[in-house]
Amino acid sequence: MSSVGIKELKNRLTYYIRLAKQGEELVVTERGRPVALIQALHAATDVSTLEAKLARLAARGGVTLPDRKPSRSIRAKRLRGIPTSRIILEERR
């Protein structure tokens, strides 16, 4: 397990991300005190947020995350006539 300061991490982020991808765990320090842990997603054991869980599944190949946001919102459409639920209930009788 390596230790790296915030300034060094910022200056050489690509290098340290590459190390994490290879399985190395990095402790990020601020003024000599540990504040964060960087590790590969496949090695993470306790994830609590939905984003972290989805990222972990994506890293394992379990899900495919969307490439972009939906282009427009979907609006509900009001339909006229007899509700479908009423038709189904009548046919069940």
Residue pLDDT, tens place only, 26-74 = 888 888 888 888 888 777 667 667 777 777 777 778 888 777 776 777 7
Which pTM value belongs to this model? 0.54
d(Cα 38, Cα 2) in Å, to the nearest integer? 10
**Domain 1-65 belongs to what architecture?**
3-Layer(aba) Sandwich (3.40)
Which residue(s) pair with 28 in the sheet? 4, 36
More confident residue, 15 or 53: 15
| Six-digit token string for 53 | 């869980």
